[in-house]
Amino acid sequence: MKKICTKKTEMKKTQLRKTQIRKTQIKKTFPVVLLILMTLLTTHVAMADDRHDIHASAEDVQPLLPGMKAPDFTVCDATGQEFHYKSDAQAKPVVLTFFRGGWCPYCNLHLAEMRKAEAQLNEMGFDIWFISMDKPEMLLASLEDPDIGYTIYSDSSLDATRGFGIAFKMPDEMVEKYKGYNIDLEKASGETHHVLPAPATFLIGTDGIINFSYVNPDYKVRLAPSVLLAAAEAYKEGDDKRLTEARKKASEK
């Protein structure tokens, strides 16, 4: 009986030692695991918070908002000449529209539709610029109307598109699917990044501040010319400063 009890006691002691060892190992390992998890979480959040990243989809883009400063950027015209935009050095306000490329039928429809606003925007003193992913030599040649007469720039280097927070990468399966429609993104852009902009329009004041923006991840939905004209008129009339002016008048009474 004593031998049996002794054996049981020894077994319990052995199990207890093993349990204690496991607990010690867990205590030593837990901080390391926690640190790794926190690092991964922090990295993920940091990546998600960086609007200038190339995002996973058009739904994930983080465009600049009205009230924010437009970034400086460099793009190329149809002849390959660089154009440098400096947000602090503009004599005229700018309507800046990003589109996917001349290969996109919805982009061509939108460019044609913008004719309805062009004359009035010019009369109000706006520059009207378009930015595409197409390489310089394809900017006009790829359009349905090569003689469209717009000021169009190439941003195949992604400087402006990333600067405004609207760059996203097309999934590989979509890149291949597009080839079935005779759309070669690499041939169009001259690059292998497969990045497109979420279609967007920004109205930028002479002070470099974005006054109005429209960004839609659905490439089939574009800003209506009537809405753009309303935003342009509001800018010219100083509607964004109306509350400041009202407050100033009230304080002077």
Q: 100-154: per-residue pLDDT in tens?
A: 999 999 999 999 999 999 999 999 999 999 999 999 999 999 999 989 999 999 9
What ranges do the domains of the chain cover?
1-49, 58-242
CATH number for the region 58-242 comes to 3.40.30.10
CB 48 within 8 A of CB 59: no
pLDDT score recorded for residue 2: 43
The per-residue pLDDT for range 218-238, each reduced to its tens digit, is: 999 999 999 999 999 999 998
Give the integer Cα–Cα distance in Å for 54 and 83. Answer: 23
The DSSP secondary-structure symbol of 69 reads: B
pLDDT of res. 1: 47
Q: How many CB atoms lie within 10 A of CB 68?
A: 16
Least confident of 35-49, 171-185, 190-204: 35-49
Model confidence band, residue 157 (pLDDT cutoffs 50, 70, 90)? very high
Mean pLDDT on 40-45: 40
Where does the pLDDT of residue 18 fall: very low under 50, low under 70, confident under 90, or very high at 90 and above? low
Tell me what pLDDT residue 51 has.
84
Check whether 47 has a pLDDT greater than 80: no
- pLDDT, tens digit (0-9, with 9 covering 90-100), for 241-252: 888 777 777 887
Share of the chain above pLDDT 90, in %: 71
Question: Where does 114-212 have alpha helices with state H?
Answer: 115-123, 159-163, 172-179, 185-189
Question: What confidence score (pLDDT) does residue 37 get?
Answer: 45
Confidence of residue 14 (pLDDT cuts 50, 70, 90): low
Q: What confidence score (pLDDT) does residue 32 get?
A: 47
Q: What is the pLDDT of residue 46?
A: 37
Q: What pLDDT was estimated at residue 3?
A: 47
| 84-116 residues labelled b (16+ CB within 10 A) or e (exposed) | ebebeebeebbbbbbbbbbbbeebbebbeebee
pLDDT of residue 31: 52
Q: CA–CA separation, 153 vs 136, rounded Å?
A: 7
**pLDDT surpassing 90 at residue 155:** yes
SS3 88: coil
pLDDT level of residue 22 (50, 70, 90 thresholds): low
Identify the pLDDT of residue 23: 55
DSSP state of 241: G
Residue 96 has pLDDT above 70, yes or no: yes
Give the mean model confidence (pLDDT) for residues 14-23.
58
Average pLDDT score over the chain: 86
Distance in angstroms (rounded) separating the CA atoms of residues 132 and 139: 7
Q: At residue 10, does pLDDT exceed 80?
A: no
Task: Decide if pLDDT at 39 tops 80.
Answer: no
pTM of the model: 0.79
